[in-house]
A and B are shown apart, each in its own frame.
Chain A
């Protein structure tokens, strides 16, 4: 469009946050929390545990002991970084791939396995009782997150709703409608777009022509920030800042975490059908765990012995969880009626009796 001397009435900026380069060297001074080595070690452990658990879950699926499972391989920094920025009283609204976030918040591994193994009891979750379960339909959790955040604002509670979704979800009206409302009401809400570049087989460039996903927040009237989603320090720092702002009444924020889905979409997918192995290989050089490990090693805070010890510890924890999962029995069939309504309506009694083999006139 020719400018015709027309005035520019608005300009926008989108910033990208990163601290650790792919080789673990520093790009800029670290945020305060990162000077505390135990904090970084906890983040490292969270990511290693998530990856080990994910890989074990895949092998369970391959051997027929688990249903379809969504792996978060390569995206552990998003899951763990966001979770570590939250408080217990905040409410998480996760997508189906946020395994590391749930684990960090206290959901037990056997609960995650139970859910993907086909049992609703997995969603009972030992994590915070107010957290939402995995959202399977893409993006539906976003307007729900706005409802949760509205409740906090109405009751004047210093709590924040944290909603995670993928790049594909940003194409849905759900996410836009939620961001739009959150902007209007300055809701205490953090949106996290896990931009792993692929929505099953559809690459980002077919998802949107937008230069960034972060800028979608600008149209809703609040800040959208891009972070290196393979840099757990950057994710956590951005998350902490956004959550603190939201908690203080400063309204919502969108974080676009740039990462890469190193795995198939789920165990039911074969990514070799739509993307070249070279692309995936190249992206392995940027993955989050090796990056933080390189930094920790450079700080003399980590070494081979600790690495082996951590691996053994994670394996032990995971094996024990798998044992508990595999030892669990299916719930009694008639319990499928138990949580349909607060109280089972009269007219359901005969169907429940039919299922349990009892008689009902």
Chain B
């Protein structure tokens, strides 16, 4: 089994999906000849032709609107927005159309599209290239929001997203595009879209995370083991709709929970999980739920971005505090 980076796994899944279904088309800025600015679509246009791998004009709203029209016509469009900072012109299409076309036509039309975009900080990129605003998208009924944190899950979850009959926003953590490596078999097997992944079993505390910062969360769990804390680590992977049962089962077992995400705290998706635990898991809690997140500030430019992104030490410190709560 070859070892691939996360972005190579994305490329592999795209090629696989295009190979097995002629309705799959890829579109976006620079996705054709150039293979995407991160090379996620490299080689696809040579292999599948310019009609199915479309270099669009520089217009994000257009890309999302094209996806809606194509999907309603039975194609399976996979649009790429070059960075999440440029996804906002697509919000009208996502909120008013993609996510509700099935409902507003009572099933007469549907919208099986995927909108992929790299997101998150840590690559010393210019302004507007580093934000994590997944909670905005996870608020939209009718949408699925998926965020892989390893090459294997990127491959399996992207295949699932493309095959899914409803619209999916697929957020790819830029920081681990190449840093994350793993064995990926081109099996064509998808991973389930509403299941969280338990990456590490533990008895003392549940650490819940998603995206790039899963890496720091796992590292924190290793360090915590040295302090005698046995942490369970859950990669939520799909934020909308998310796997409530896995979260609750874990917290029921451990009685303690720390939620780690890169996005700003207030109204972040961690708040939703904390609310779920308060509603349905309160009696098993031995300590207040804690959050380790980005601050409620504007994402700083690269000189300070590492101070914004949750670090291993912040996660360890917060978790120890939760574990010491009597």
A joins B in a complex: yes
- A340 engages B70 (CB within 8 Å): no
- B102 engages A144 (CB within 8 Å): no
- Tell me the nearest residue of chain A to B97, going by C-beta: A140
- A339 engages B241 (CB within 8 Å): no
For B89, list chain A residues within 8 Å (CB): 173
For B105, list chain A residues within 8 Å (CB): 120, 123-125, 133, 339
For A152, list chain B residues within 8 Å (CB): 73
> Is A346 interfacial (CB-CB < 8 Å)?
yes
> Is A47 interfacial (CB-CB < 8 Å)?
no
- B61 engages A143 (CB within 8 Å): yes
- A147 engages B108 (CB within 8 Å): no
State the Cβ distance, B165 to closest chain A Cβ, in Å: 4
Could you say which of A125, A133, A146, A341 contacts B66, with CB atoms under 8 Å apart? A146
Could you say which of A123, A149, A181, A339 contacts B62, with CB atoms under 8 Å apart? A181
- A143 engages B65 (CB within 8 Å): yes
> Is A307 interfacial (CB-CB < 8 Å)?
no
Interface 0/1 of A141-182, CB less than 8 Å to B: 011111111111010000001000000000001100110110
Could you say which of A123, A174, A345 contacts B61, with CB atoms under 8 Å apart? A174
Bound together, the chains give a CA A345 to CA B109 distance in angstroms of: 19
> Is B69 interfacial (CB-CB < 8 Å)?
yes
State the Cβ distance, A162 to closest chain B Cβ, in Å: 12
For A338, list chain B residues within 8 Å (CB): 106-107
> Is A342 interfacial (CB-CB < 8 Å)?
yes
- A125 engages B108 (CB within 8 Å): yes
Interface size band for B:
35 or more
Could you say which of B67, B110, B165, B244 contacts A147, with CB atoms under 8 Å apart? B67
Could you say which of A133, A147, A173, A174 contacts B104, with CB atoms under 8 Å apart? A133
- B73 engages A91 (CB within 8 Å): yes
- B166 engages A341 (CB within 8 Å): yes
> Is B103 interfacial (CB-CB < 8 Å)?
yes
Interface 0/1 of A322-349, CB less than 8 Å to B: 0000000000000010111110011110
State the Cβ distance, A342 to closest chain B Cβ, in Å: 4
- B62 engages A348 (CB within 8 Å): no
> Is A121 interfacial (CB-CB < 8 Å)?
yes
State the Cβ distance, A308 to closest chain B Cβ, in Å: 38
State the Cβ distance, A140 to closest chain B Cβ, in Å: 6
> Is B320 interfacial (CB-CB < 8 Å)?
no
State the Cβ distance, B160 to closest chain A Cβ, in Å: 13
- Given A140-B92, A144-B69, A147-B70: A347 touches B243 (CB 8 Å cut-off): yes
- B66 engages A150 (CB within 8 Å): yes
> Is B267 interfacial (CB-CB < 8 Å)?
no
* B68, B106, B110 pick with most chain A CB within 10 angstroms: B106
Could you say which of A123, A161, A173, A177 contacts B108, with CB atoms under 8 Å apart? A123
Bound together, the chains give a CA A177 to CA B90 distance in angstroms of: 12
- Given A121-B106, A133-B104, A341-B142: A151 touches B73 (CB 8 Å cut-off): yes
- Given A347-B242, A347-B244: A145 touches B69 (CB 8 Å cut-off): yes
Interface 0/1 of B114-156, CB less than 8 Å to A: 0000000000000000000000000001101000000000000
For A173, list chain B residues within 8 Å (CB): 59, 61, 89
For B110, list chain A residues within 8 Å (CB): 342
> Is B93 interfacial (CB-CB < 8 Å)?
yes
- Tell me the nearest residue of chain A to B167, going by C-beta: A341
> Is B52 interfacial (CB-CB < 8 Å)?
yes
Bound together, the chains give a CA A263 to CA B93 distance in angstroms of: 29
Taking Cβ atoms with an 8 Å cutoff, the residues of B that contact A are: 25, 51-52, 54, 56-57, 59, 61-62, 64-75, 77, 89, 92-93, 96-97, 102-110, 141-142, 144, 164-166, 194, 241-245
Taking Cβ atoms with an 8 Å cutoff, the residues of A that contact B are: 91, 93, 120-121, 123-125, 129-130, 132-133, 136-137, 140, 142-152, 154, 161, 173-174, 177-178, 180-181, 184, 336, 338-342, 345-348
Q: Can you sample 21 A-B contacts with CB below 8 Å?
A: A124-B105, A132-B109, A136-B96, A137-B92, A137-B96, A140-B65, A143-B65, A147-B67, A148-B69, A151-B74, A177-B65, A180-B62, A339-B105, A340-B102, A340-B103, A340-B142, A342-B110, A342-B165, A345-B194, A346-B194, A347-B242
For the complex of A and B, 8 pairs with smallest distance between CB atoms: A147-B69, A143-B65, A144-B69, A151-B73, A177-B62, A345-B241, A147-B66, A342-B165
18 extra A-B contacts, CB within 8 A, seeds A150-B69, A154-B52, A177-B65: A91-B73, A130-B73, A133-B104, A140-B65, A142-B65, A143-B66, A147-B71, A147-B72, A147-B73, A148-B72, A150-B66, A150-B70, A154-B75, A174-B61, A177-B57, A340-B102, A342-B164, A345-B194
